[in-house]
């Protein structure tokens, strides 16, 4: 290679190097601009959009309250459109900016790489090759650095992470349970005395419709006499109030919303509203109910710490007394021709669900026992019955806590603890709605328009042929549940016909017809029975010696729910309000 | 010197286009949703065809085969460079970094420990094939097929040589990372390798801001420190290193006998060129033998100590599992440590599972973590112990050679060897 060609080669390399270097600098500048642009874009997404989103949410609330306000609606639409524009533009800028940044950085790197490649000079080693001392020193550093790393790691382990977290094996041992198995929790449920002192479930203790104590027989809503308070119920429902201590609970629902309301028993103030939306497992299956049943026919149940609710769409959930939803799930939309109405019952720390649906041969009906605080299923059994509308009741019969159920075609008694069936009697057919009661050694089950059957409770297995003591066939109710003081059992038809039977032999003692219609089941308090007439009357009468009317009070509103009686106060749900009657 | 006018115009156009991309107005603004707007029917995109998975496998095999050809037959750094670019484009930007052999560790481990989990055949092949290639040809996968390695390799501009002792110590992170990744996958907690892939946000042109920042930082480091992720973090690299030690073929700096010209001495930015060793004095040998004996005895102690450290860490580590996290949350809610609920705790209470069952499951997971953490700790202890032993051995080398474990087969050192230049006829034998 002569001198001239060497110079030409050097010049060529120099031009190439500079071109690449300039390209790298310019591309680097572009990359820096893009980084700034992307950062601004990112900040815009974090600052501007949340502010607009907040504004939009506020406008949505206003539109919800004022749906006919055209200017607000238009404003909301414009803002919504603007927000979408900003968001999509930002996303598009991010995408384009990232791509631009990538390309410009690639140009930077390739330019610099090529520039470096043409400029690089091959090494020219100086000095001696590696000496043993250098090698020994390197090995020493290696050992020391590994040792130092181990020490640092040890300190890190000791001071940062040791002892973190809960040991669940110990937790389970502490709770007296085995890992992976079920835990027998301590007695976290109310005593019998507490249950009797409250109105924890549909028709009170044992589902008997028997109140403890003395109650007003007469009041005047217009004058306010005897009415301690009256408060509005946001959403209507057929469910009855339940009361525990100073709390009253109700449910309400329509096609869109399902709610539980907690009121202060002393003043009637609404303490909180529990929302049952977004329930896990809820599909989009449509729920069809009859208007008379509605979406909130089942009554809640409470144990003094929790309140459990269920609705026509199969949503079941539990709230604590602060209104916090503890759990909720959907049991599947029940196949019920009039709409699901069975109230919840309670046994110890469990909530009992009579989930009857479909035909009796479809094996779709179930009796379910769930932990009240967690919603976990303790047991569930398929029931050979059709869809029905009565509620399960839990009562101690001859020392055994028993769940009583009635559905076409069986009245069935189950052990409350295990869910094991004790006996069944094939004695009722059709659209069963009356809740069974236990009185005087008999379980009373009602087949609408047909008969009331008295079933002896000392049997096991199928007792159809052996334990049905008697049947009463006079003016049999289709909705209301019976009441009994142990000596007599009284039925009430929707049309207002009262029939009183002797518990012992089923002999009819008296009958009486009241003008009106009745969906609410009667309640016995002392020697009197309280009847809530559908158009809004409370009728009080004695029943020992035939029907003797004591008093009639006008409520003035449609009343279809059964009342609750606690501690001298009567809680009556009308179509729109909740009344507290007392002194 | 002048840059040609054409070059200036080209650069200007490219750069203006890039800037315009950021600040340009929407050419097609989003549609206005008037009241008459009909919501389009939601259409779910179909799953990727299985055939394409096998195309990925075929591309992987082709890239690794071509790498071997370029390294051993052609000895072409340029060819490897362009192959790396191809891998970045295909496995990186086109396949968006998934599927990858490094992440496949998690899938393979989970399939071993969880009988309900089946790894796709393509995933298994992505894990196994690079190992097989490594057994025969060294780290051909790292050379050009791995997009993570390739992107770091390409951005390396100004390599800074790390001291050997420091590089060796930093490599312990890779063992720890492998141990953690296997532990997390085996317990079904997480695929941490995939979750914390630093380059995924770059390949996907977006993602979690933290990961974008981590990826950017990693690339910035890679400008000065050769392949930092591959050398100090890559858990798959840990396996490949060990297999590469016993590979059938290995990369040689020179195509013929080394003349110890020392020209290649600093050629490797990854510190993977071992120098010839000098003879030690007799006294040094004796001292070193004793030290070696001590370190060999220390090995089981380190395994036990680090295993115990793993045991201590197991409680905290188990919180990586969703069941334990949920149990912690429920425990906190039940014990009144917290007043609110989370979506997870509300959802749990809707499942029908009892708290005791949850605690039971969490206890089972914690037991798995105790066992797994002990093994993971022991692995790290073993790696540290072996490193101490290796640093106590007097290695004997007579020429410059590529480190069998650490060489990425990138081919950078080839051009430094005068013998290679003679082979390529760039130099005459007389020179």
Structure confidence by residue, pLDDT tens digits, B69-116: 999 999 999 999 999 999 999 999 999 998 899 999 999 999 999 888
A192-581 CATH: 2.130.10.10
CA distance A581 to A568: 8
Angle between helices B147-155 and A70-119 (to 10 degrees): 70
The residue among B9, B15, B154, B159 with the most chain A CBs within 10 A of its CB, best to mutate, is: B15
Q: Identify the CA nearest to B126 among candidates B83, B164, B97, B165.
A: B97
Mean pLDDT throughout B178-190?
Answer: 95
Contact assessment for residue A531 and residue A491, using Cβ atoms and an 8 Å cutoff: no
User: Chain B window 259-288: which residues touch A at a Cβ cutoff of 8 Å?
Assistant: 260-263, 265-267, 275-281, 284
Asked if the model's pLDDT at residue B386 lies above 90, the reply is: yes
Nearest chain B Cα distance for residue A37, angstroms: 7
Return the minimum-mean-pLDDT range out of A27-36, A112-121, A436-445.
A112-121
Nearest Cα neighbor of B80 from B173, B160, B143 is B143
Q: What pLDDT sits at residue A436? A: 95
Average pLDDT value for residue range A219-245: 92
Closest to A136 (Cβ–Cβ): which among B261, B284, B306? B284
- Cβ <8 Å between A145 and B276: no
- In the prediction, which pLDDT does A405 show? 95
The rounded Cα B149 to chain-centroid distance in angstroms is: 7
- Determine which of A123, A142, A349, A355 to mutate to test the interface with B (most B C-beta atoms within 10 Å): A142
Cα→Cα distances A142→B167, B169, B387, Å = 9, 7, 8
> What pLDDT is recorded for position A6?
58
Query: Stretch A470-474: mean pLDDT, rounded?
Result: 91
Q: What is the pLDDT of residue B30?
A: 45
Query: A290: which residues sit within 8 A by CB, 6+ positions away?
Result: A338, A339
Pair of tokens at residue A266: 């002393």
What is the reported pLDDT for B275? 86
Determine which of A503-512, B270-279, B323-332 has the lowest per-residue pLDDT on average: B270-279
pLDDT of residue A2: 52
pLDDT at A364 over 80: yes
- Burial class of residue A186, CB neighbours in 10 A (0-12, 13-18, 19+): exposed
- Summarize the confidence of residues B3-8 as an average pLDDT: 45
Size of interface A-B (CB pairs under 8 A): 260
Q: Is the dihedral of CA B392, B396, B397, B398 positive or negative?
A: positive
Mutation target to probe the B interface, by most B beta carbons within 10 A, among A43, A119, A143, A330 is A143
Top-confidence residue, A580 or B356 = A580
The rounded distance, in Å, linking the Cα atoms of B256 and B417 is 10
Q: How far apart are CA B341 and CA B337, in angstroms?
A: 11
Chain B residues near residue A125 by CB distance under 8 angstroms: 261-263, 265
Q: Does B4 touch chain A (CB under 8 A)?
A: yes
Predicted confidence (pLDDT) at residue A399 exceeds the cutoff of 70: yes
Q: If you average pLDDT over residues B262-279, what whole number do you get?
A: 87
CA-closest candidate to residue A339, choices A254, A463, A447, A444 = A254
Most distant CA pair in chain A: distance in Å? 139
Burial of B295-313, coded b for 16+ CB within 10 Å and e otherwise, reads: beebbeebbebbbbbbbbb
Q: Could you give the C-alpha distances from B374 to A65, A376, B182, B309, B314, in angstroms and in order? A: 61, 35, 12, 7, 8
CA B76, CA A344: separation in Å to the nearest integer?
A: 80
Res B32 pLDDT > 50: no
Q: Which residues contact A108 (CB under 8 A, 6 or more apart)?
A: A24, A27, A28, A31
Task: Identify the band that residue A163 occupies on the pLDDT scale cut at 50, 70 and 90.
Answer: low
Of B187, B152, B150, nearest to B362 (Cα)? Answer: B187
Inform me whether the C-beta atom of residue A399 falls under 8 Å from chain B C-beta atoms.
Answer: no
Q: Which residues contact A404 (CB under 8 A, 6 or more apart)?
A: A207, A392, A393, A394, A395, A411, A412, A413, A436, A437, A438, A443
Least confident of A51-55, A237-241, B197-201, B346-350: B346-350
> Rg for chain B (alpha carbons), in Å?
26
What per-residue confidence (pLDDT) applies to A129? 62
CB distance A41 to B24 below 8 Å:
no
Q: Is pLDDT larger for residue B353 or for residue B337?
A: B337
Task: Judge whether residue B39 has pLDDT over 80.
Answer: no
A150 has a pLDDT exceeding 90: no
- Separation CA B138–CA B146 (nearest Å): 14
With contact defined as beta carbons under 8 Å apart, do A128 and B275 qualify? no
In this model, does residue A5 exceed pLDDT 90? Answer: no
Mean pLDDT confidence for B292-299: 94
**Rounded percentage of chain B residues whose pLDDT exceeds 70:** 88
Contact A149 B172 (CB under 8 A): yes
Q: Give the pLDDT confidence score for residue B287 in this predicted structure.
A: 86
Minimum Cα–Cα distance from A327: chain B residue: B349
Q: How large is the average pLDDT for residues A205-217?
A: 93
Alpha-helical regions (H) of B99-171: 104-113, 121-137, 140, 147-155, 164-170
A84 touches chain B (CB under 8 A): yes
pLDDT at B206: 80
3-state percent breakdown (helix, strand, coil) of chain B, nearest 5: 65, 0, 35
pLDDT of amino acid A371: 86
Collapse the DSSP code of A217 into the 3-class scheme (helix H, G, I; strand E, B; otherwise coil) and give the result.
Answer: coil
Q: What is the mean pLDDT of residues B261-280?
A: 86
Cβ distance of B278 and A135 shorter than 8 Å = yes
Residue B47, pLDDT above cutoff 90: no
In angstroms, rounded to a whole number, what is the distance separating the alpha carbons of residues B171 and B179?
Answer: 13
Tokens found for residue B205: 């042109």
Angstrom distance (rounded) from CA B79 to CA B88: 14
> What pLDDT sits at residue B5?
47
Q: What is the DSSP string of A532-548?
A: EETTTEEEEEE-BTB-E
Q: Which residue has the tokens 């380059």?
A: B199
- Whether the CB of A132 is below 8 Å from some CB of chain B: the reply is yes
- pLDDT > 80? residue A492: yes
With CA atoms as reference, report the closest residue to A380 among A412, A349, A420.
A420
Query: Residue A381: pLDDT band by 50, 70, 90 thresholds?
Result: confident
In the predicted model, is pLDDT for residue A120 greater than 50? yes
Which residues lie closer than 8 Å to B258 by C-beta, 6 or more apart? B399, B400, B401, B419
Residues 415-474 of A with CB under 8 A from B: none
Given B33, B262, B319, which is nearest A125 (Cβ)?
B262
Please report which confidence band the pLDDT of residue B350 belongs to, taking 50, 70 and 90 as the band edges: confident
State how beta strands A227-232 and A377-383 pair.
unpaired
CB–CB contact B32 A81 (8 Å): yes
**Can you tell me the distance from the alpha carbon of B368 to that of B311, in angstroms, rounded to the nearest whole number?**
11
d(CA A118, CA B1): 15
Cα torsion A323, A329, A333, A335 to 10°: value is -100
Least confident of A98-107, A157-166, A364-373, A444-453: A157-166
Chain A residues with beta carbon closer than 8 angstroms to that of B349: 326-328, 374-375
Read off the tokens for A136.
């020994």
A324–B341 C-beta distance less than 8 A: yes
Tell me, what's the pLDDT at B6? 42
A255-308, pLDDT tens digit by residue?
889 999 999 999 999 999 999 988 877 777 888 888 889 999 999 999 988 999
Cβ separation of B356 and A185 shorter than 8 Å?
A: yes
Whether chain A has a CB inside 8 Å of the CB on B289: the answer is no
A19 interfaces chain B, CB cutoff of 8 Å: yes
pLDDT at A346 over 80: yes
Average pLDDT in the A24-30 region?
A: 93
Q: Average per-residue pLDDT in chain A?
A: 88
Contact A168/B327, CB-based, under 8 Å? yes
**Burial of B67 per CB tally in 10 Å (0-12, 13-18, 19+):** buried
Cβ of A150 within 8 Å of Cβ of B302? The answer is yes
Average the pLDDT over A150-176 and give the result: 75
What would the pLDDT profile of B141-177 be if each residue is shown by its tens digit? 999 999 999 999 999 988 998 988 899 999 999 999 9
Is the pLDDT confidence value at A379 over 80? yes
Tell me, yes or no, if B210 comes closer than 8 A to chain A by beta carbon.
no
For chain A, give every domain's residue range: 3-119, 192-581
Q: Pick the more confident residue, B90 or A18.
A: B90
* A498 CB-near residues (< 8 Å, 6+ apart): A490, A491, A492, A511, A512, A513, A514, A547
Q: In this prediction, what percent of chain A has a pLDDT beyond 70?
A: 93
Nearest CA in chain A to B205: A98
Cβ proximity of A523 and A532 under 8 Å: no
Edge-to-edge strand order for the sheet containing A227-232? A227-232, A577-581, A569-573, A564-566
Q: Is the predicted pLDDT of residue B288 greater than 90, yes or no? A: no
Contact A179 B364 (CB under 8 A): yes
Q: Which of A538, A455, A457, A449 is nearest to A495 (CA)?
A: A449
- pLDDT the model gives residue A162: 61
Q: What residues of B are in contact with residue A281 (Cβ under 8 Å)?
A: 350
Asked whether the beta carbons of residue A92 and residue B26 sit closer than 8 angstroms, the reply is: yes
- Which of chain B's residues have a Cβ under 8 Å away from the Cβ of A153? 309, 380
Does residue A469 have a pLDDT over 80? Answer: yes
Say whether pLDDT at A1 is over 50: no
Note which residues in 345-374 of chain B have CB less than 8 A from chain A.
346-357, 359-364, 366-367
CA dist list (Å): A132 to A283, A357, A454, A566, B271: 77, 90, 107, 97, 19
Residue where the block lists tokens 């007792």: A463
Residue of B80, B178, B244 whose CA lies nearest to B383: B178
């Amino acid at each position: 290679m002569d001198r001239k060609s060497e110079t030409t080669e050097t010049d060529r390399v120099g031009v190439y190097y500079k071109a690449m270097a300039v390209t790298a600098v310019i591309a680097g500048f572009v990359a820096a601009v893009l980084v700034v642009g992307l950062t601004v874009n990112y900040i815009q997404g974090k600052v501007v959009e949340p502010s607009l989103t907040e504004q939009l949410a506020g406008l949505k609330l206003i539109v919800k309250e004022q749906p006919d306000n055209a200017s607000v609606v238009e404003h909301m639409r414009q803002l919504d459109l603007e927000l979408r524009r900003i968001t999509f533009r930002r996303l598009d800028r991010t995408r384009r900016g990232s791509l631009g940044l990538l390309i410009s950085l690639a140009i930077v790197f390739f330019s610099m790489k090529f520039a470096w490649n043409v400029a690089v000079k091959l090494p020219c080693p100086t000095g001696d090759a590696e000496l043993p001392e250098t090698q020994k020193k390197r090995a020493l550093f290696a050992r020391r650095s590994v040792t130092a790393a181990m020490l640092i790691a040890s300190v890190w382990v000791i001071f940062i992470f040791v002892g973190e977290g809960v040991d669940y094996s110990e937790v389970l041992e502490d709770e007296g349970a085995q890992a992976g198995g079920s835990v027998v929790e301590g007695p976290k449920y109310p005593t019998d005395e507490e249950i009797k002192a409250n109105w924890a479930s549909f028709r009170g203790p044992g589902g008997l419709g028997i109140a403890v104590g003395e109650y007003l027989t007469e009041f005047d809503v217009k004058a306010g006499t005897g009415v301690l308070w009256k408060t509005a119920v946001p959403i209507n429902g057929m469910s009855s109030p339940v009361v525990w201590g100073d709390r009253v609970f109700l449910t309400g629902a329509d096609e869109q919303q399902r709610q539980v309301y907690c009121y202060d028993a002393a003043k009637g103030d609404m303490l909180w509203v529990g929302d049952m939306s977004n329930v896990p497992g809820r599909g989009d299956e449509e729920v069809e109910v009859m208007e008379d049943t509605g979406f909130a026919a089942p009554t809640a149940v409470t144990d003094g710490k929790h309140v459990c609710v269920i609705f026509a769409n199969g949503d079941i959930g539990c709230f604590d007394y602060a209104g916090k939803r503890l759990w909720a799930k959907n049991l599947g939309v029940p196949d019920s021709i009039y709409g699901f109405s069975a109230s919840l019952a309670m046994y110890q720390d469990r909530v009992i669900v009579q989930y009857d649906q479909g035909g009796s041969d479809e094996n779709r009906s179930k009796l379910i026992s769930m932990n009240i605080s967690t919603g976990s299923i303790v047991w569930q059994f398929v029931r050979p019955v059709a869809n029905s509308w009565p509620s399960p009741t839990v009562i101690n019969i001859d020392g055994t806590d028993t769940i009583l159920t009635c559905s076409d075609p069986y009245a069935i008694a189950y052990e409350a603890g295990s869910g094991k069936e004790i006996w069944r009697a094939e004695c009722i057919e059709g659209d069963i709605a009356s809740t069974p009661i236990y009185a005087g050694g008999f379980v009373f089950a009602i087949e609408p328009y047909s008969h009331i059957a008295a079933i002896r409770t000392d049997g096991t297995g199928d007792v159809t042929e052996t334990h049905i003591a008697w049947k009463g066939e006079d003016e049999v109710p289709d909705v209301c549940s019976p009441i009994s003081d142990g000596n007599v059992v009284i039925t009430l038809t929707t049309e207002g016909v009262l029939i009183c039977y002797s518990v012992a032999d089923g002999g009819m003692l008296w009958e009486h017809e009241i003008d009106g219609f009745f969906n609410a089941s009667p309640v016995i308090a002392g020697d009197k029975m309280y009847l809530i007439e559908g158009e809004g009357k409370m009728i009080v009468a004695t029943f020992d010696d035939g029907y003797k009317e004591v008093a009639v009070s006008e409520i003035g509103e449609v009343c279809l729910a059964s009342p609750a009686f606690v501690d001298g106060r009567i809680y009556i749900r009308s179509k729109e309000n909740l009344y507290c009657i007392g002194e | 010197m002048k840059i040609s006018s054409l070059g200036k115009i080209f650069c200007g156009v490219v750069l203006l286009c890039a800037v315009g991309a950021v600040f340009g107005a929407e050419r097609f603004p989003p549609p206005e949703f008037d009241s008459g707007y009909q919501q389009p029917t939601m259409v779910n995109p179909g799953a990727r065809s299985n055939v394409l998975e096998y195309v990925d496998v075929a591309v992987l095999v082709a890239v690794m085969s071509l790498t071997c050809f370029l390294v051993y037959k052609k000895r072409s750094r340029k060819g490897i460079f362009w192959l790396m670019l191809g891998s970045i484009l295909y496995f990186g930007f086109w396949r968006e970094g998934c599927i990858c052999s490094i992440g496949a560790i998690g899938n393979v481990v989970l399939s071993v420990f969880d009988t309900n989990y089946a790894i796709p055949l393509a995933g298994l092949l992505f894990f196994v094939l690079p190992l097989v290639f490594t057994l025969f040809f060294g780290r051909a996968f790292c050379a050009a097929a791995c997009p993570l390695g390739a992107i770091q390799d390409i951005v390396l501009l100004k390599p800074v040589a790390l001291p050997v002792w420091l590089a060796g110590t930093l490599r312990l992170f890779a063992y720890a990372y492998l141990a953690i990744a296997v532990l997390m996958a085996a317990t079904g907690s997480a695929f941490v390798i995939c979750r914390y892939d630093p380059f995924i946000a770059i390949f996907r042109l977006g993602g979690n801001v933290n990961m974008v920042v981590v990826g950017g930082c990693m690339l910035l480091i890679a400008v000065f420190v050769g392949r930092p992720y591959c050398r100090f973090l890559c858990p798959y690299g840990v396996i490949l290193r060990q297999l590469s030690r016993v590979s059938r073929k290995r990369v040689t700096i020179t195509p013929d006998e080394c003349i110890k010209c020392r020209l290649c001495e600093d050629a490797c930015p990854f510190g993977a060129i071992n120098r010839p060793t000098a003879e030690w004095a007799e006294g040094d040998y004796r001292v070193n033998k004793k030290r070696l004996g001590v370190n060999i005895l220390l090995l089981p102690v380190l395994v036990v100590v680090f295993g115990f450290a793993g045991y201590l860490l197991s409680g905290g580590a188990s919180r990586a599992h969703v069941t334990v996290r949920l149990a912690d949350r429920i425990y906190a809610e039940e014990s009144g440590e917290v007043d609110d609920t989370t979506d997870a705790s509300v959802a749990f209470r809707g499942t029908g599972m009892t708290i005791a069952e949850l605690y039971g499951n969490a206890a089972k997971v914690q037991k798995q973590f105790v066992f797994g953490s002990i093994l993971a700790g022991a692995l790290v202890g073993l790696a540290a112990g072996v490193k101490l032993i290796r640093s106590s051995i007097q290695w004997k080398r007579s020429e410059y050679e590529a480190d069998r474990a650490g060489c990425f087969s990138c081919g950078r050192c080839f051009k430094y060897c005068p013998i290679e230049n003679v082979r390529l006829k760039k130099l005459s034998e007389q020179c």
